[in-house]
Amino acid sequence: LDIPFTGQATKVFGKRLRNLAKAVRPNTVLLTVPRPPPAVRDSFHNKDPIPKDIQSKLVYKIEKCDCESVYVGKTDRQATRRFGE
């Protein structure tokens, strides 16, 4: 069970959870894993999203209008350059 790390309170809380689990279900072993809280920088994106038509390393699907055939392909090139061929 992941619990946020907040110092001594995390250790006390984890011990209480383990004791509660042992009281409710004696055969259950509860392992608590203290994790650091998320960093502020993880909340903000510093890059703009890349538009789909200029992304590379794509998997694409082309359906033919005149028949029911479908082509699925993969390319390392940008979509606009690949479809221009």
For residues 7-36, average pLDDT: 88
Q: Is residue 45 part of a domain?
A: no
Q: Is residue 68 part of a domain?
A: yes
Q: Is residue 33 part of a domain?
A: yes
Q: How confident is the model at residue 79 (pLDDT cuts 50, 70, 90)?
A: confident
DSSP calls for the chain: -EEE--THHHHHHHHHHHHHHHHH-TT-----EEEPPPPGGGGS--SPPPPGGG--SEEEEEE-SSSS-EEEEEESS-HHHHHT-
Tell me what pLDDT residue 63 has. Answer: 83
Q: What is the residue range of 26's domain?
A: 2-38
pLDDT for residue 59 is more than 80: yes
Tell me what pLDDT residue 43 has. Answer: 81
